[in-house]
Structure 1
Amino acid sequence: MTQARRYIPEINLMRAMAILAVVMIHSTSNALVQLQTSSSFYGLYVFLHEFAVFAVPAFIFISGFVLTYNYVGKPLNGGTIATFYRKRIWNAVVPYAIFSLLYFLLKAKFAPAADWAPKFLGQLLTGQAYGHLYFMFVIIQYYVLFPILLLALRSGWVRRHIWWIGIAIQWGYYYLNREYIVHQTGWPDVLHRTGSLFISYFGAFAVAMWMAIHYERILSWFAARPAVRRLSVPFAYALWLLSGFYYVYLRYQGLVHKNWADGQVFTYTQFVFNIMSAIALFLIANVMMRRPAAFWARLLGNIGVCSFGIYFVHPAVLYYYRDIPVPGNGMLFHVYYACEYLAALLVAWGITWTIQRNFRWAWILFGTSSAPKKKTSATP
């Protein structure tokens, strides 16, 4: 019988930090549109919006880590695969379908009723029912692919080298898309939306798989080399911040001065920032877990538990909040957007927490793994 692997509390804190970034992206997007680029505050909004783009790759990293950590030691047979897909259907596909329908209906008043069924089906199958739902479309692609990846991990060579294999596949796709796919006119639209395809994030997923496979060995290796650990941690933070600041700088130059960076340089920078963000979030979470009873650790832990629900609900909060007119000038403009962020986070968090705590059917909306419970392994 396979021994359950130990629970990793840092994962929940990583989820919390990633969902805070997701809400930041969505709550500052309108501000960038409405604010003049000549404003002295424009750079601040660019930073808040663009530095937070690590959120989606971070969630994909978390998914790759947790799935691999929980399944890599299990026998790969029909029962394991059936259990895996059953859990994904209840924990992800069902909530995704429900919220896709709800958001479609939220927008449906702008479309003739006769067109609803085919439009909804098309949007459901491509993650386009609402702007944020493309992420679930990407995650479901990984779920479909994951048993095949587990089969590949039976090879010791693949287990050792999966990190660079994934990076190579992602970059191979980048160049294939740049040189060939982007020029094709008769292909389905989804193939031209690279941000909605799993392969665009495969490097982060593969690095997470490698870390999950070798997690205990990595911890032991650094524990035996304290000097290396003391140097590695600040280096990781420095590389994260430098790549993040440079990424924001490139975006700022393009948005304000129309001086857009070379696509390859921009993509390299974003890739390094994405990978280092996941590592930095784990390190930050590890520091917080040295005092698990501290207020911030408990607060982020609760946000992490509710992160799936916050992800689904917060765009609806933003939708209705934006019925409030934006103040034209002055400090009230910034107060408006600060309150937009807080409203999206707190209302979505409150709704999720209340439903999870008080209703047995919460799993229909937020999946069974979202409910707070003690486990002996990382929550898949």
Structure 2
Amino acid sequence: MIQWAFVLYNHYYMHYEDKGQLAISYSSYYFMGAFCGIYYHTFKEWITVTWTNLLSKKVLLWIPLWTLWIASSFGDVNLWYQTRVNDFSANALIYECYWFFHTFTSPLILLQISIFLYQKLNTRLINTIINLGVASFGVYIIHAAILFYYFRLPVSYTPAAYYLYIAIGYAFTLLFSWGIVALAQKYIKGSWILFGSKPKISPYI
């Protein structure tokens, strides 16, 4: 409600163009993250894919969730494809609506997939991903600063060069942010103030 109140106010009255840089534009995601974290064990029971759960009322949550995610993801991608390739234009709120449902449902889908992968993947790979999870808040905090400087590098805007530029930027930003946070958590006592505290109980397997 807070996020969409801002979206509608901005659309009809304020007309602030770069609202993606305002934290209020993501308030629903922050609250969803807090909710899932506080009630994680109960939440996990509802989204874990097991044969028992497939035959329970929990499927009543999965079906609309996956349906909404698939529909909004396809709609969001197709809308932007038509906009950029065929010079199509729609009301800004339609873009906002598709983007919201696409991005709001994606973390829930990814959490469900991650629990499944946790049960199937190699232990070393799982522990590496858990390590990234432990550092993820810090990565989120500092990645924008790294991207700020990376996107100031000159680049040729041919399609192949642009794709490579984006791919390298993604890998570099992730690994560099991860490295900074991991080193800070290991060697700097007060790093939790900036990058969040580490789990009290070791999450590794």
Q: Please give the TM-score of this superposition, normalised by the length of structure 2.
A: 0.69
How far residue 364 of structure 1 moved from its aligned partner, in angstroms, is 4.5
**Is 1:182 aligned to 2:9, yes or no?**
no
The 8 Å contact of residues 47 and 112 in structure 2, kept in 1 or not, is answered as no
- Determine the structure 1 residue equivalent to 2:79: 250
User: Given the alignment, which residue of 184, 189, 204 partners 1:360?
Assistant: 189
The 8 Å contact of residues 327 and 333 in structure 1, kept in 2 or not, is answered as yes
**Is 1:339 aligned to 2:168, yes or no?**
yes
**Is 1:298 aligned to 2:124, yes or no?**
no
The 8 Å contact of residues 251 and 260 in structure 1, kept in 2 or not, is answered as no
**Is 1:262 aligned to 2:91, yes or no?**
yes
- Determine the structure 2 residue equivalent to 1:201: 27
**Is 1:348 aligned to 2:177, yes or no?**
yes
How far residue 292 of structure 1 moved from its aligned partner, in angstroms, is 7.3
1:1-380 to structure 2, matched below 5 A, reads 166=1, 170-179=3-12, 181-182=13-14, 193=19, 196=22, 198=24, 201-202=27-28, 205=31, 209=35, 216=42, 219=45, 226-228=54-56, 229=58, 232-233=61-62, 236-291=65-120, 294-322=123-151, 324-327=153-156, 329=158, 331-367=160-196, 369=197, 371-374=198-201
Distance 1:175 1:335 in 2: 37
How far residue 212 of structure 1 moved from its aligned partner, in angstroms, is 5.1
CA RMSD across the alignment: 4.1
How far residue 334 of structure 1 moved from its aligned partner, in angstroms, is 3.4
The 8 Å contact of residues 204 and 275 in structure 1, kept in 2 or not, is answered as no
Specify which structure has the bigger relative contact order, considering alpha-carbon pairs within 8 angstroms and separated by 6 or more residues: 1
The residue type equivalent to 1:226 in the other structure is L
Distance 2:195 2:43 in 1: 34
Distance 1:351 1:358 in 2: 11
Query: Could you list the per-position Cα deviations for residues 15-60 of structure 1 after superposition, in whole angstroms to 9, with x for gaps in the alignment?
Result: xxxxxxxxxxxxxxxxxxxxxxxxxxxxxxxxxxxxxxxxxxxxxx
The residue type equivalent to 1:260 in the other structure is S
How far residue 243 of structure 1 moved from its aligned partner, in angstroms, is 0.8
How far residue 283 of structure 1 moved from its aligned partner, in angstroms, is 0.8
Distance 1:171 1:240 in 2: 19
How far residue 309 of structure 1 moved from its aligned partner, in angstroms, is 2.4
Identity of aligned residues (%): 27
The 8 Å contact of residues 170 and 203 in structure 1, kept in 2 or not, is answered as no
**Alpha-carbon distance change, 208 to 272 in structure 1, aligned in 2, over 3 angstroms:** farther
Tell me the number of residue pairs that the alignment of Structure 1 and Structure 2 aligns.
Answer: 199
The 8 Å contact of residues 247 and 266 in structure 1, kept in 2 or not, is answered as yes
The 8 Å contact of residues 170 and 202 in structure 1, kept in 2 or not, is answered as yes
Q: Specify the structure having the higher radius of gyration (Cα).
A: 1
Query: Could you list the per-position Cα deviations for residues 134-193 of structure 1 after superposition, in whole angstroms to 9, with x for gaps in the alignment?
Result: xxxxxxxxxxxxxxxxxxxxxxxxxxxxxxxx4xx55455444444x337xxxxx8xx94
Distance 2:6 2:149 in 1: 39
Q: Which moves more between the two structures, 322-331 or 345-354?
A: 322-331
Distance 1:361 1:259 in 2: 51
Distance 1:251 1:323 in 2: 25
The residue type equivalent to 1:246 in the other structure is G
Distance 2:82 2:37 in 1: 35
Distance 1:221 1:338 in 2: 31
Q: Please give the TM-score of this superposition, normalised by the length of structure 1.
A: 0.42
Distance 2:157 2:168 in 1: 16
**Alpha-carbon distance change, 256 to 304 in structure 1, aligned in 2, over 3 angstroms:** same
The 8 Å contact of residues 292 and 298 in structure 1, kept in 2 or not, is answered as no
Distance 1:214 1:313 in 2: 26
Stretches of structure 1 that go unaligned for 5 or more consecutive residues are 1-165, 184-188
The 8 Å contact of residues 291 and 297 in structure 1, kept in 2 or not, is answered as no
The 8 Å contact of residues 68 and 105 in structure 2, kept in 1 or not, is answered as yes
The residue type equivalent to 1:205 in the other structure is F
Stretches of structure 2 that go unaligned for 5 or more consecutive residues are none
Distance 2:5 2:67 in 1: 28
How far residue 333 of structure 1 moved from its aligned partner, in angstroms, is 4.6
**Alpha-carbon distance change, 343 to 375 in structure 1, aligned in 2, over 3 angstroms:** closer
